[in-house]
Amino acid sequence: MPKLEPMSALPVVTLHQWQPARDPRDNLEEIRGVVQGALAAGSNLVVFPEYSSSFAPGGPSADSQGESLKGEWVAAVRLLSHETGVTIVVGCLRAEPGEVKLRNTMLALSQGEVVARADKLHLYDAFGGRESEAVLAGKIDSPQLFSWEGLRIGMMACYDLRFPEVTRRLVDAGATAIIVPAQWASGEHKAAHWDALLQARAIEGQVFVIAVDQPAPHSVGFSQVIDPWGRSILRLGEGTETSRVGVDRRVIDEVRLANPMAQARRFRVIQDD
């Protein structure tokens, strides 16, 4: 087994656990400051939570402000990625012409372009939440992946984590890491579910899982990076916090060599439109 390099020699991902405001302009300033700080610390991937464009406690509603992919807010984040060279992942409430409801969209932006997009597939109509009242579920189509430092990264949003077939489709498409922006609502057993599901998705997919939640009290916090062995190599607390960690992609090869699950697998995910 190769000797692993120190974190300073590894590509570094930054997690920003924070509760966005309702006003997208305020959130843009927060994002800009965090990205610039990450760049100064040697990190070139920054991940923000679900609803990074606009958030109000209780989730999206009919008066939530949506952002077009061709609008000013997305253009500003694109420009920030171009100016800094940092890849940025944000959750965005997306407005499309002709649609009354919004889309809950995860965006990856790099070098001034949107390099991947993932709409939330499973809406949070659970534990008293009714996300479907204001949001449309994403269409099931081919997963979009993006590259970062030798990894192929897929994205999913929050409640999608409870459905293992979402991870499996991303892995089948070639993902070696999965980013999960979330607003994992607080409540009984919710923190335990968050930890268990993140770990399970990393182990069964043999991938890195990079999950960024909003902080307490509306969410559970505990953003983390989990490696393909299921080990949490970075775990934040419950409050607002920014932290970073080096990611060694050689762990993926190590795990898949020791446990060749892909060759042993006998079932495939059947797409249900």
Number of domains in the chain: 1
Angle between helical axes of 164-172 and 190-205 (0-180°, round to 10): 30
Question: Angle at the Cα of 257 (from 251 to 263), degrees rounded to 5?
Answer: 125
Q: Is residue 2 a part of any domain in this protein?
A: no
H-only helix segments in 121-235: 164-172, 190-205
Which tens digit of pLDDT belongs to each residue from 205-249?
999 999 999 999 999 999 999 999 999 999 999 999 999 999 999
CATH number of residue 94's parent domain: 3.60.110.10
Tokens of 184: 């994992």
Confidence of residue 4 (pLDDT cuts 50, 70, 90): very low
Q: Is residue 270 a part of any domain in this protein?
A: no
Q: Is residue 24 a part of any domain in this protein?
A: yes
Q: Is residue 42 a part of any domain in this protein?
A: yes
H-only helix segments in 41-135: 72-84
Q: Is residue 271 a part of any domain in this protein?
A: no
Which tens digit of pLDDT belongs to each residue from 63-106?
788 889 999 999 999 999 999 999 999 999 999 888 889 999 99
Alpha-carbon distance 93 to 138, whole Å?
A: 12
Q: Is residue 269 a part of any domain in this protein?
A: no
Q: Is residue 4 a part of any domain in this protein?
A: no
Nearest to 166 by CA among 207, 134, 120, 232: 120
pLDDT value of residue 5: 46
Strands (E), 72-164: 87-94, 102-110, 113-119, 135-136, 146-148, 151-155
Nearest to 245 by CA among 149, 113, 154, 147: 149
- State the residue range of the domain holding 246: 9-264
Q: Is residue 240 a part of any domain in this protein?
A: yes
